[in-house]
Amino acid sequence: MIKRLLIFLFIIMSTTVHAGVFKEKIQKSTVKEQKEMFRYLLTENYYTCDYITYIFYKGKDHKGNEYWTVTADNKNSYLIRVQEAKKYIGVTPCHTARALGLECFQTMEDQHSWN
């Protein structure tokens, strides 16, 4: 299990990683592995996080982008956007997402998706 996680972390560190790889790995992983993957994603985007305390799957928008909200040990929450078509994974602090009209802890069905 640890070996598989380390291999994944090596893959995600590559600049050529496809958002689809992340999405596929996160969906097939245990909650413990998901927490480590999201923690790594946050720290690679210069956010402070020792461990993830909560994961919320928001769902998909009409373009097929997938969204998660994660809460770090420092009580900060982040919206994770996986755009497979554009090979992009975005991390947005929830206070910024709220300023854009998005609620981090609502499903995509309960709010308008990003355009």
pLDDT (0 to 100) of residue 102: 83
Residue 78, CA distances (Å) to 16, 84, 112 in order: 23, 19, 18
Q: Is a pLDDT exceeding 70 seen at residue 95? A: yes
- pLDDT, averaged across the chain: 81
**pLDDT range class, residue 85, cuts 50, 70, 90:** confident
Say whether pTM exceeds 0.85. Answer: no
Confidence of residue 14 (pLDDT cuts 50, 70, 90): very low
Quote the DSSP letter at residue 49.
Answer: -
Output the six-digit token pair for 115: 């355009």
Say if residue 78's pLDDT is above 90. yes
30 to each of 26, 87, 108, how far by Cα in Å?
A: 8, 23, 23
Question: Which of 73, 78, 67 shows the shortest CA–CA distance to 52?
Answer: 73
